[in-house]
Amino acid sequence: MTLIKSISGIRGTIGGLAGENLTPIDAVKFASAYGVWLKQQREKDNHKVVVGRDARISGKMIQNLVMNTLVGMGIDVVDVGLSTTPTVEVAVPMEHADGGIILTASHNPKQWNALKLLNAKGEFLDAVEGGKILEIAESGAIDFADVDSLGKITKNKAYIDLHIIEVLDLDLVSVKAIEEANFRVVVDGVNSTGGIAIPLLLERLGVEVVKIHCEPNGHFPHNPEPLKEHLTDLSEAVKKHKADFGIVVDPDVDRLAFMDENGEMFGEEYTLVACADYVLSRTPGNTVSNMSSTRALRDVTEKHGGTYEASAVGEVNVVKLMKKNNVVIGGEGNGGIIYPASHYGRDALVGVALFLSLLAEKNMSVSELRKTYPSYFMGKKKIELTPGLDVDGILKTIEERYQNEKLTTIDGVKIDFAESWVHLRKSNTEPIIRIYTEAKSQDEADALADKFIAELGEIANI
């Protein structure tokens, strides 16, 4: 199964059979359903949608299909072209638009693409609203506009610049201190739109930028998920250029990871920990991350006198709990920073600016900064799903086996042990079971993950 309809949007591989992959027919089908849903939200004469994309090879094709489908429904489109997910999120309210669509499959390889759907606030749809769009798509009850009522497409390529201005205007971004620090930074833009946006932001902050893989041509030079094993080029470049640190983002620039001056990973999980440490030191309050994120955020939050709570995995779930708890910063342990003072969406540009502000204030190296935080180690593994596998039944068996431990079952099964935890869940974005673990050493985290992989295999007979 390579067409996945979930809380994270409509995601699939390009080509193949309609209904089984993300084909042109499927792009039109779901864009049409979104258009119907949009009109149901606000009854008025003219509706407007912001549409942007990452640099995937299939991006221009899918974007043209989506935009012209909306035009055919009488909806005006603002085409922001090559952009980032957070930039489109920021653009929707700036344009006073009724919604937005981002064409990106985030960290998935180049054969994937997706429609990520936004509401009038520039935020992802929740499960209820997303479910309505899926129902409309399956019903086929879609009414297109007559020839005198077609929408129009307006191009606006200014939004990355406008987004950068918005980031620089945030109260906690110390522009002057960053400029005076004279940082040298290597940026890996994975040949997508991060190669446009992140260097522009850094240059505005007076940072010397060394660019690798920053040509937005969609030919990813390595697996686009920003994990250590994929980032040997960045590690070598940081050391070669004697940089203060390295930055890598995913193709749509909502995930952010740092590499220290020695070419070692700062830790994707610690992107949020460091940014939260800085924000909480200036604006005390509460934090939220998802269940698969490090305990270090809890520790840092409590150090500053705040309260931490975990949500189900998925940005929309994190945002919902953030709003409920009125938090000052939150996000996901995969390098996703959500800073409400900017907007309720994961934003690598905001993360970069906050991290640089922290580093300039601390006047220490990135490796020294990392040592100031509690040391946890994570294992992130996965099992490919085979058709017909009863995932819910397998996870129920795990739940029964560990019923005497501290369990959380709002999203798969999370088991909290005294010195470690494991979280098992079905992915929203790929046909896999994810196995996340955390412990006091990497060996312990990996061993815990391997133990549960073996247990899942024994239960499922795979």
What residues act catalytically? Answer: 106
State how far the Cα of 243 lies from the Cα of 177, in Å rounded to an integer. Answer: 18
Cα–Cα distance measured from residue 399 to residue 376, given in angstroms and rounded to the nearest whole number:
25
Q: Cβ(312)–Cβ(301) under 8 Å?
A: no
The residues, any chain, with a CB within 8 Å of residue 403's CB and separated by 6 or more, are: none
Reduced 3-state DSSP string for the chain: CCEEEECCEEEEEECCCECCEECHHHHHHHHHHHHHHHHHHCCCCCEEEEEEECCCCCHHHHHHHHHHHHHHCCEEEEEEEECCHHHHHHHHHHCCCCEEEEECCCCCCCCEEEEEEECCCCCECCHHHHHHHHHHHHHCCCCCCCHHHCCCEEECCCHHHHHHHHHHCCCCCCHHHHHHHCCEEEEECCCCCHHHHHHHHHHHCCCEEEEECCCCCCCCCCCCCCCHHHCHHHHHHHHHCCCCEEEEECCCCCCEEEECCCCCECCHHHHHHHHHHHHHHHCCCCEEEECCCCCHHHHHHHHCCCCEEEECCCHHHHHHHHHHHCCCEEEECCCEEECCCCCCCCCHHHHHHHHHHHHHHHCCCHHHHHHCCCCCEEEEEEEECCCCCCHHHHHHHHHHHCCCCEEECCCCEEEECCCCEEEEEECCCCCEEEEEEEECCHHHHHHHHHHHHHHHHHHHCC
23, 448 in Cβ contact below 8 A? Answer: no
How far is residue 238's CA from residue 212's CA, in Å, rounded to a whole number? 10
- By the 8 A CB rule, do 78 and 71 touch? no
Q: Which residues have a Cβ under 8 Å from the Cβ of 431 and sit 6 or more positions away?
A: 1, 2, 4, 384, 385
Q: Which two tokens stand for residue 1?
A: 């199964």
